[in-house]
Amino acid sequence: MGFLLPLLSSFPVSAQNGNSTEISLIPLPVKVETRSGFFTLSPTTRLVADAALKDITDLFASIINTPTGYQLLPEKNDNNCIHFTINDTYNETLGNEGYILDVTPARIDISANKPAGLFYAMQSLIQLLPKEIESGTKAAQENWVVPCVKITDYPRFGWRGLMLDVSRHYFPKESVKKYIDQLAKYKMNVFHWHLTDDQGWRIEIKSLPELTSIGAWRAPRMGLWWTRQPRAKNEPASYGGYYTQDDVKEIVKYAQERFVTIIPEIDVPGHSLAALAAYPNLSCTGGPFNVNVGNVFYAKEDNALCPGNEQSFEFMDKVITELATLFPAPYIHIGGDECYKGFWKKCDKCKKRMAVEKLKTAEELQSYFIKRMEKIIISKGKKMIGWDEILEGGLAPEATVMSWRGIKGGVKAANMNHAVIMTPDDFCYLDLYQGDPAGEPPTYSKLTLRTSYNYEPLPDEITDHSLILGGQGNLWTESVPTYRHAEYMTWPRAFALAEVFWSPKTARNWNSFVHRMEDHFARYDVANVNYARSVYDASIRPVKADATQPLRVALDKELDDLDIYYTFDGTFPDRFSPKYTDALNIPKGADTFRMITYRNNQPVGKMITISIKEIEKRAGAK
């Protein structure tokens, strides 16, 4: 399918009555045709649609009602209306999620092949309205105008997702629904729900009640992950929570109304300490176990289901049976990553299993386990997804691979004729630093907004690109204790990924994206959604010393129009301080470096402070 190049990305429109507006859509549409004039939303505007589209029109009306106070009633009308239509003849170009949005001064026409397309058109229409449309209460805005345009749009990839890890920290169902709502606004259609791990089991399994009565709770802790003290003997396990099956049904329905598919993940055979705390007989060593609090335990403590124990498969059959009835999605994610196999190698049951099944290595034993999982999943009418470690020891026959350790696993799986979802950590892991670590909450590694935006999901090494279903961003939450911080880590990098997965590759433009992103920052301010402004900050890059050159400090920035000012003397820099132009020598006796960014003579980034000792540490200087 060929792509029509967009005629614009973001452009000003002079409005009537002295007003102005701007088109700043994320993700960037395939084609936009500009026209003069505006459609004005008013109390007398009507919604026109067939009765079969009532769910969509009711949702749209409810979104509009809160900030405007308008009741957009369904009523036949030729003018001053918003008309939702399913095409009589299937438009091959639009596919199942594409749409045409046609705005004239008299009316708005929205057409698509499928209801999903109408929903995504609705998201574009809402983005065309003034930012006050995002308000959770009645807004003071009175002139609800939409610029006249014709948009033809459809996605590049069918799988456009975000993953939220609720195991390391439990987020209540209202937060989960809000996350789904936010990703749907940007035309993402998959919510990958990481429900179990070493730090908590978050979903009710009625046939296995101890999974939540025991596995959903751990001892409360703060402080850096992997530096925490283990749970003490008799210490209460009071931190955690879980979703009842009624909660899950409610969240699934909420997602379906927004054309979002929820993919549940039960991470096995490793990452199973919360399950083993509830059912220690499923381990190789027999326990007892505590739900992990964020202390180091890998390779020291058994955290994997025993593949030599038939009860492990009986346990998983019960779990998957209940999952399959709760989630209408075609897939169940089985994890399969980072499984420590040292305890397997010492386990008599595992040794017996390997002998009977003629397995030569622990990797082949894991492959045996995963293949058994696939058979169980298929027996429930579902398909299996696993992280790229499931390639080790032999890939299950029908498995879909989610490639996270770079693109290598995805390339290998696709060239074996398996479907792949691309989510490499160096482009898609949203738990990483997004700015200089000295100016960010603690985490590990680094992924800037610009790096995410520059991601290309189709590797040249893959022959059949149709096997790449799409991709997603992943938010692991070891360092994300609150939902507010989950938003900070997700946005705006998820804006970038939404555009990567939806928009034509040839249309992407960093400067255009930044301009549109800033308009969406203003919308998020109205909506009280948190986001990171790290793109406005500079980063410190030590230039290593050698025998002839002293250690120097280089500063990097993501935006070209920023000016960086700095000090070494302990004072706070401003635009009258020295301006950065090239790598800096560290003055003798200096112990602190500070920097701040300005745009158009106004501070725009945060002030970042770092010790000279820390710069030396980064450089590896002695």
Radius of gyration from C-alpha coordinates of the chain? 26
d(CA 24, CA 30): 13
Burial annotation 150-179 (CB, 10 A radius, 16+ → b, else e): ebbbbbbbebbbbbbbbbbbbbebebbebb
User: Count of alpha carbons within 13 Å of 220, Cβ hemisphere only?
Assistant: 4
Count of Cβ atoms closer than 10 Å to residue 386 Cβ: 26
- Residues annotated as catalytic are 197, 271, 338
Residue 498 · residue 457 · CB < 8 Å:
no
Residue 528: name the closest of 131, 173, 202 by CA: 131
Tokens of 291: 């739900």
Q: Contact, 384 vs 399, CB < 8 A?
A: yes
3-state secondary structure of 243: strand
The C-alpha atoms of residue 433 and residue 533 are separated, in whole angstroms, by 12
Is the C-alpha dihedral spanning 203, 208, 213, 214 positive or negative? negative
Beta-carbon-side half-sphere exposure of residue 501 (alpha carbons within 13 Å):
30
The three-state secondary structure class of 377 is helix
Strand-pair category, 261-268 with 190-194? parallel
Distance CA 520, CA 518 (A): 5
Report the length, in residues, of the chain. 622
Amino acid identity at 159: W
In sequence order, the 6+-apart residues with CB closer than 8 A to the CB of 351 are 308
How, if at all, do strands 31-41 and 552-556 pair? unpaired
Cβ–Cβ < 8 Å for 354, 244: no
Give the separation between CA 26 and CA 6, rounded to whole angstroms.
Answer: 13
